[in-house]
Structure formats: C-alpha cells, structure tokens
Copies of this chain bind each other. A is one copy, B any other.
C-alpha cells in the first residue's frame, strides 16, 4: 500500500423500493459516483429481516444487474450487504462506498479507510459453530490488510453478511449424514450472526483465541465484539466482509468512530462519539449537522433477560411480531431522536455484537476542516 494514497467516499442514497437503482444511476450520471470505484454497498431494505425476507435478494439482484451493466469488474467484486427490516420510520436506503486513488501525502494523519474480503462458503453443518468463527476471523484479517489498517484499535466497524440455514440446506447436510447446529431456520440466523461476530472479536483481539466457541455461540453473551455488525441472509452461502477504520494512506474529509450501547436506550455513548467527531449532539441535530453525519450503523436486539432497566418488555413473548423487528424499530426511535431523521442503518440480531440487549454503533462524519465532499 505504501506510496499510494486513497480516498474513501460514502454516498447515502434513498431507495423507493428494494430494486430501486435510480438514485445510484443518477449519482453516476451526474458524476458524483464512479461505478468502477464502488467497493461495497450496505443497504437497508424493507422486508421482515427474517428468514422469508425477499427484499434483500431483490435488492441484491437489482444492484448486481445494474453494476454488471455499468462496471462489470465492480459487479464481480463489490460487497453487497443488504440488511432487511425498516421497522418504525427507518428509511430504506443504500450506502455506497467508493475507494478512489487520490493525490497528496500518504503519510498524513489519515482518514476513513475501507477494506473488504469474502470467505469460502460455509458448509451448513459448520454454521453457528467454531469453524465459522475461525473462518470469519481470517476474513476480517484479510479485509484489514486490504484497507491498510495495521492496528486493531483503528478498526471501528466490521460489517458482515453471513448465510443462514434453510430447510433445503439442512436436508442437504443431513443427506450427507451431517447434523446442523439447529433445525430451526429462524434460529440459524442468530447462530450465524453470533459466530460471525465472534469471528470479529477473535480477529480484533476482543476475546481470547482459545475459547470454546461451540459452547459460547448463542449461549454466553458475555463474550462479544464491540465493533461487529452481522446480518444473515438467504441469498449467500459465504461471508461478505467490509472493514471500516482510520488509517494513514487515506485522505478526504471523512472520519469514523464508534460507540457501544449497553442496552437499547443507552444513547449517551452515541452522543459522545458524535462529539469526538466534532458534531455537537447536546440537542437533536439540526439540518446542517445532520448533513455532516454521512452514515450511522447500529445493531439492535431485544435483550435476553426479558426486561430493560428493570421493567419487563414483551418482545420475546410476542408470537405475532419477531423480537428482532420490535428491537429494530425501538432502537431506531432512540437513535433518530439524536440524529433528527431515520435514514439510519439499524440492523437486528445483535448476538455477540455488543453486550446482551445493546450493540455497537459506528458513525461516519464529514469533518469540518477538510471542506465539503465533491
């Protein structure tokens, strides 16, 4: 990476439907986005975020087809991470990450850095088990190398899209005499998210490497990553990994930091992270400050104790609405109360991502000193 200077750019684009690529097309036509520079798209789509969420697949197919026309190489390599579920007033949108070559001094203070990787396909019987944890850890290390981030502490967000079990995949494994970690498809989403998050924790030194992960995944939520964000989807069998951090060798106005919410309404750490990034959030952000917050990426979950600060919640006992849907809408409200809008990335299922009932939050901000993005 030495010598080459890069700039990461992030564009948040509203989506009128899962397959709405018009905003992206317009940004390309207007010269704001260079299709060949796209390395990742992280989106919120409006399905249920659970097993039978076809909005993710639809978005992935539409974006993939679009990129194939505009930038075939990008289409083959870009990470497309769609997280389903826009409960409450969450707004469906895509965050498009570009990496561009830049002129200037590569030894400068640094800026937002983006790296990515894919893992091999995980066999159904390894999903939710230690083998998946180690596979993901290797993927995270590869993505850090791709970003030129050397120290784990400079990583602020690791977004992973991981697979889940379907009835068909379970049958395939069982046909080979292999037993899967669960036969419950909805539950498999949680196990896959949890194992992936522990893979991040392992890669970033947030947990000891010699843990018995098989006994921890989905059970001991005291072990977790403070920077992982994982989403499960039916549309892939491997892992797509995107690492965000601060690194030398990168320039531009963008910076990233992160907070950890201890529970679903623990919003003061988010305010503090905004302050560290130079954004005053003592009251709800006004229009100008809002414009500088390019992206907020959070995880939400119901909390396995069945209560929040001593008061019972009913998310886990609701057989009509999945608990993950409840949690996304509720946490979205808490965060939107700070930011002043709800075009946020709040993703459900935060197993081993932050403490039980809480979750990591990453924030990308346009710094004042460097002027406006092009």
A327: chain B residues at CB < 8 Å are: 88
Flag A31-59 by CB within 8 Å of B: 1 or 0 each. Answer: 00000000000000011101111110110
From the candidates B50, B185, B316, B332, name the one contacting A167 in the complex (CB within 8 A).
B316
CA distance A183 to B218 in the complex (A): 12
The reply to whether B52 and A46 contact each other, CB–CB distance below 8 Å, is: yes
Would A52 and B320 count as touching, CB distance under 8 A? yes
- The contact string, 1 if C-beta is below 8 Å from chain B, for chain A 238-277, is 0000000000000000000000000011011001000000
Q: Interface on A for B, CB 8 Å cutoff?
A: 14, 16-19, 46-48, 50-55, 57-58, 61-62, 65, 86-93, 166-168, 171, 183, 185-186, 234, 264-265, 267-268, 271, 282-284, 302-304, 306-322, 325-327, 329-338, 340-343
Asked if A342 and B311 sit within 8 Å, CB to CB, the answer is yes
The residue in A18, A58, A306, A343 that gathers the most chain B C-beta atoms within 10 A of its C-beta is A58
Check B317 against A319 for contact (C-beta < 8 Å): no
Chain B residues with Cβ below 8 Å from A88 are 264, 313, 315, 326-327, 329-330, 333
- Which 3 pairs, one residue from A and one from B, show the smallest C-beta to C-beta distance? A333-B333, A88-B330, A50-B319
Jot down 13 A-B pairs with beta carbons below 8 A, ordered by A.
A46-B317, A50-B319, A52-B319, A54-B55, A88-B264, A89-B265, A89-B326, A185-B316, A268-B284, A282-B282, A313-B342, A329-B330, A337-B337
Per DSSP, are chain A's interface residues mostly helix, strand or loop, or mixed? loop
Looking across the interface, which residue of chain B has its beta carbon closest to that of A234?
B17
Task: Kindly identify which residue among B50, B87, B268, B311 contacts A14, using a CB–CB cutoff of 8 Å.
Answer: B311
Contacts of A167 in B (CB 8 A): 306, 312, 316-317
In contact, A283 and B265 (Cβ under 8 angstroms): no
A51 touches B317 (CB 8 A): yes
Give Cα distance in the complex from A91 to B330, angstroms.
Answer: 12
Q: Which of B18, B19, B271, B311 contacts A341 (CB 8 A)?
A: B311
The answer to whether B268 and A283 have CB atoms under 8 Å apart is yes
Most buried by B among A50, A88, A332: A88
Q: Which B residue's beta carbon lies closest to that of A59?
A: B54
Which residue on B lies nearest to A333, using beta carbons?
A: B333
B-side contacts of A46, CB under 8 Å:
52, 54, 314, 317-318
Chain B nearest CB from A11 CB (Å) reads 15
Instruction: Tell whether, in the assembled complex, residue A322 and residue B322 are in contact, meaning their CB atoms are under 8 Å apart.
Output: no
Question: B92 touching A314 by the CB < 8 A rule?
Answer: yes
Give, as a whole number of angstroms, the nearest-CB distance from A159 to chain B: 21
| Whole-angstrom distance between the Cβ of A101 and the nearest chain B Cβ | 32
**Alpha-carbon distance between A86 and B302 when the two chains are bound, in angstroms:** 13
Contact A321/B87 with A18-B57, A333-B333, A343-B311 known, Cβ cut-off 8 Å: yes
**A265 B337 Cβ-Cβ under 8 A:** yes
Shortest CB distance A224–B (Å): 18
Partner pick for A321 among B65, B313, B325, CB 8 A cutoff: B325
Residues of B within 8 A of A55 (CB): 52, 54
Which one, B91, B307, B333, contacts A331 given CB within 8 A?
B333
| Chain B proximity of A350: nearest CB distance (Å) | 14
Is B57 a contact partner of A312 (Cβ separation < 8 A)? no
Min distance, Cβ A251 to any Cβ of chain B, angstroms: 30
Residues of B close to A307: CB separation below 8 A: 91
Chain B residues with CB under 8 A of A315: 88-89
- State A169–B253 Cα separation when bound (angstroms): 38
Q: Which residue of B lies closest to A338 (CB)?
A: B337
